[in-house]
Amino acid sequence: MKSSLRLLVAGVLLAPAALLAATFEGKISFKAMSGRDKGQEMSYSIKGDKMRMEMTGKNATGGMIIDTKQREMLIMMDSQKMYMTMALPDSAKEAINKRERDVSMEKTDQTEKILGYTATKYLVTDKTSKSEVWLAEGLGTFMGMSNRNPMAGGRGSTSAAPAWERALEGKELFPLRIVGLDKSGKETSRMEVTAINKETLPDSLFTPPADYQKFDMGGMMRGLIPGLGR
């Protein structure tokens, strides 16, 4: 699995056991940058209890559809014209509660209008990091886009997600800007929403293309990710 697709999978594995339905329907575009990286563009589509996340641009390898009501995740592999489905783990809530104890989330009195939404600045810290996170209401629950993934050759785990992602789990607050800081307060990374399009989305956006074949990972995937499967 390509690294860009792993980036999407990881965020969903961090999602709480009972996700809140979104109050927003439409498409949100992101751009994430780190160091000298030119940035990676991402899109995030929401319709009712379904969400779709995918990379955009030349490095895109596929997308992901999440059905929060059915607790199912569908991963599309565009180059192979295939897709696979997995059940979201039921054991995520205990891990979330444990991680939240290690994160501090401080609300400030600073607000800013970002693409028509009022965002409030929060300071999120844990033992090793600090971030400035600008959060807005009215866009549903953020699923996460961490690149720390238990499927990535044994490196990292769901508990290794950035502090700001852990702090947002289960809350109806959506990040419009995230600025990562080093110990001296210097910016090291940034993820920012570049467009918010509130619109009616077709149901077909949340189903695999008709010419894609289903690939059954079966016991292999359940063995890789504890708690996955029914």
For residue 45, tell me if it sits in a domain.
yes
CB proximity list for 35: less than 8 A, separation 6 or greater: 188, 189
Q: Can you give the pTM of this predicted structure?
A: 0.70
Sheet holding 82-87, edge to edge: 104-114, 117-125, 130-136, 174-181, 187-198, 26-34, 40-47, 50-55, 62-67, 72-77, 82-87, 213-214
Of the candidates 73, 84, 74, 4, the one whose C-alpha atom is nearest the C-alpha of residue 41 is 4
For residue 230, tell me if it sits in a domain.
no
For residue 152, tell me if it sits in a domain.
yes
For residue 229, tell me if it sits in a domain.
no
pLDDT tens across the length of the chain (230 residues): 444 444 444 444 444 433 444 478 999 999 988 766 677 888 989 998 898 988 776 665 678 898 888 888 898 888 889 999 988 765 445 455 555 557 888 999 999 999 999 999 999 988 888 999 999 998 887 866 553 333 333 333 344 567 787 788 778 889 999 999 988 888 988 989 999 999 999 999 999 989 999 987 654 455 544 554 44
CATH code at 68? 2.50.20.10
d(CA 44, CA 72): 17
For residue 116, tell me if it sits in a domain.
yes
As beta bridge partners, residue 51 has: 46, 66
The boundaries of the domain holding residue 191 are 3-224
User: What total number of domains does the chain contain?
Assistant: 1
For residue 23, tell me if it sits in a domain.
yes
For residue 193, tell me if it sits in a domain.
yes
